[in-house]
Structure 1
Amino acid sequence: MRKKKIYRYTLISSIKRPVEINFLERKLISTGLFIYENTRYSFFFKTKMIESICIIHLTKKKKYPFYNEIQIIVINVFPEKNIMIKPNEKLGILDIVINVKIKWKECSILNRSIRGNNSFGSTGIL
């Protein structure tokens, strides 16, 4: 069994002009970071530098057929302000874990937990 490798990257916008995102609008922002296609990855967004919903998206480029570019879908959910993403702006910190194998354990009864108010489904544990 291979040992898992963890890599931490600061995702930076790789765009030529500033991008403005209006309320409930979404834009695909390039990061210029490429990963090899035939490997199993897990992605964890550790920190977001911009206030919005950010979704990781992998895109194939014709120029690099065996690699996928990590891009971020940014969705503006704030009605009172537009989001402006500038070239070379920090978008967030991403942890990439390679060679992750998940083992499922069958269970007939789930443990009860007291829900907190930190977020949806929160147990209140930080």
Structure 2
Amino acid sequence: MQVKIINKSKHELPEYATAHAAGMDLRANLDEPVSLKPLERKLIPTGLFIELPIGYEAQIRPRSGLALKKGITVLNSPGTIDADYRGEIGVILINLSQEEFIINDGERICQMVVAAHEQVEWMETELLQESARGEGGFGHTGRK
């Protein structure tokens, strides 16, 4: 699949790290380092603008290493970029650690996954088909 991209960042285009990777890392595009204090959140620019085909979205997800080692994650995970959005991709990062974290220009801050999606057409009804699970939720399947 080909996707149009405008790269106004100082960095190379995002790319897959391995042959079977689902996501590609996005980098911070900063003029100066950004400090994230504990429990602070900020919108971090990437300098990237994309035009997705209709029927696709881009999901912005945390990087597992950054989350585990530093407590930095994407606040609205997964963030969604719709096919009709033409603005700069920005990433809302939050620091869930007890220590200040400095984001430097070019730092890999998240991963982006492009995925197909459907739009539903609601069919109002008075009854839903029965299932084995029924109304069980929120831990319903638990340990057996």
Give the TM-score category using the shorter length: 0.5 to 0.7
Relative contact order higher in (CA < 8 Å, ≥ 6 apart): 1
What is the DSSP-based 3-state SS (H/G/I as helix, E as strand, rest coil) of the residue aligned with 1:68? Answer: coil
- RMSD between superposed Cα atoms in Å: 3.5
Residues matched between the structures, number: 103
Q: Which residue of 2 is the match for residue 90 of structure 1? A: 108
Partner residue in 1 for 2:49 = 34
Question: Is the 1:47–1:94 Cα contact (8 Å) retained in structure 2?
Answer: no
5+ unaligned residues in a row in structure 2: which ranges? 4-21
Letter in 2 for 1:19: V
Gaps of 5+ in 1: 59-65, 117-126
1:101 to 118, 124, 128: 118
Greater radius of gyration (CA): 2
Distance in 2, matches of 1:87 and 1:101, equals 36
TM-superposed deviation, 1:87: 0.5
Aligned-residue offset at 1:101: 0.7
TM-score normalized by the length of structure 1: 0.60
Q: Which amino acid aligns with 1:47?
A: R
Higher fraction of helix:
2
Work out the percentage of aligned pairs sharing the same amino acid. Answer: 21
2:94: which partner in 1?
Answer: 75
**What is the distance in 2 between the residues matched to 1:36 and 1:90?**
22
SS at match of 1:67: coil
